[in-house]
Chains A and B, each alone.
Chain A
Amino acid sequence: MQQIVPPYLLDRIAQAAAPRFPIAAEAARRALLREPPARLGIEPLPGLPSVLPDAPSAPDRRISDAEGREKLPGRLVRREGERATGDEAVDDAYDGLGDTHRMFERVFGRDSIDGAGMPLEATVHFGDKYDNAFWDGERMVFGDGDGEIFRGFTDSLSVIGHELAHGVTEHTAKLRYQGQSGALNEHVSDAFGALVEQYALGQDAEAASWLIGEGIFTDEVQGRALRSMIEPGTAYDDDVLGRDPQPGHLRDYIETDDDNGGVHLNSGIPNRAFALAATELGGFAWEHVGRIWYDVLTSGRLSPDEDFAGFAAETVRSARERFGPESREELAVMHGWSAVGIEVPPAG
């Protein structure tokens, strides 16, 4: 069954319109529930739509407050279904995890990080002026930022999606967090972080900013975001922060001992390949490149030490398997990699 109103809009109406437009909210809720999801266990065939029928998403969120200390998990302050607390970081984390869960569930049929409904746990207000957010293997952790360069890290939906995606990678491809496989791990988090934002906003590939962490910098910083997937190296250029150091081509790959072998730097290379393939195809990125990348992540064919070339070859193979040999999707993915200096040999 086709719906003309996209699921994210229905969902927004169902959730937000209730006080003023109770009839519209009820109608949207019914539309959301109308079609039982036919998802798990069915191998999608090439040519069939890759986005799954709409289904309500039921996350199990638990937000804790570290109250400015570097101690985890902190005090549990908001559980699933509980009302907003009025603490912006708590409520932003809660909403962002909901948006991320919804995209993974509705688009890819994956219920939570482990695919089996595991609770989404996050801690906010970690540390004193802590300039970071991370995934510690069990939970997402967000600092408040120093207030001079960085604002709170829950201000950006792509950052929340990025952290949750680290959990998904840990439960699937287990890409080792060092060198090229580490840069791929980072890339996967950026890719799904961007998709979560695009899905929540209903943006197609052309309308999307392809920025990671928009809104993370204070107004003092000359910069738009932490990274640009489509134009790596252009996200910021600031007196204090310096210039965005990300390469966007394999010839500029940075060999370094810092940052686990430059995982946050060299991720620019696959990021650009992904964004270029998405914009070549147009339309909603989660329906094509997102689907292909998710297939690769969950294929069981990636090695934990996968390098860029091996990963690229797997994305082309998955594009072919899902969308057909010499499909637009396969070609766009090959073009994306080629533009960043990674040639995938033709199938044979």
Chain B
Amino acid sequence: MDVIVSRSGGLAGTRLTWEVRVDEQPDPDEWYILIDEIPWGEPPPVPPEPDRFVYRIRCEPHEATLAERQLTGPWRQLVDRVQETTDPKRLGAPESRPPRPTR
């Protein structure tokens, strides 16, 4: 299982991505427990704050997008752990998606 954290936004608008292969870690069970604790789909609501970072956390089949201020409790623990485990990759270009029909 992979955990992918990407951080976008910020004043500079650059993107960093951290990727961890859980099964290659010395303590995969602890990772699984932590991932289980995450309330996927219900991050605490906050209004967006200009220039703050936005975090996207992917961990099949889960995916969540959080404002920096929403990174609390188990979310914060997971992101801290990912950032301690691996160095980020810096990707200048944004991850694009197909345009929405309305715009």
Contacts and interface: CB of A to CB of B under 8 A. Distances in A.
B33 interface: no
A43 interface: no
A259 B54 contact: yes
Given A189-B50, A242-B90, A242-B91, A255 B15 contact: no
Given A254-B96, A257-B65, A135 B49 contact: yes
Given A163-B51, A166-B50, A257-B65, A131 B12 contact: yes
Q: Give the residue among A213, A227, A263 with the most B Cβ atoms within 10 A.
A: A263
Contacts of B94: 245, 254, 256, 258-259, 262, 265
B9 A259 contact: yes
Given A256-B96, A256-B97, A133 B51 contact: yes
A318 interface: no
B6 A136 contact: no
A150 interface: yes
Interface stretch (A9-17, A89-97, A177-185): A177-185
Interface in B20-53: 47-53
A134 B11 contact: yes
Give the bracket for the number of chain A residues in contact with chain B: 35 or more
A159 B11 contact: yes
Contacts of A243: 92-93
B90 A265 contact: no
B96 A134 contact: no
B97 A255 contact: yes
A254 B99 CA distance: 9
Given A242-B92, A255-B99, A260 B11 contact: no
B12 A150 contact: yes
A278 to B, nearest CB: 22
B55 to A, nearest CB: 10
A241 interface: yes
B73 interface: no
A86 interface: no
Contacts of B12: 131-132, 150, 213, 216, 226, 264
Nearest to B14: A241
Interface string A122-166: 000000000111111100000000000010010000010011001
Interface in B82-103: 90-100, 103
A226 B95 CA distance: 19
Contacts of B53: 132
Q: Give the residue among B50, B56, B94, B95 with the most A Cβ atoms within 10 A.
A: B50
A180 B49 contact: no
Contacts of B15: 258-259
A240 interface: yes
A186 B13 CA distance: 11
B11 A153 contact: yes
9 contacts: A132-B53, A137-B49, A243-B93, A255-B96, A256-B97, A258-B56, A259-B8, A259-B54, A265-B94
Given A226-B11, A241-B90, 20 more contacts: A132-B10, A132-B11, A132-B51, A132-B53, A135-B51, A136-B52, A178-B48, A179-B103, A180-B103, A226-B13, A240-B90, A241-B92, A244-B92, A245-B93, A255-B97, A258-B9, A258-B15, A258-B94, A263-B13, A264-B13
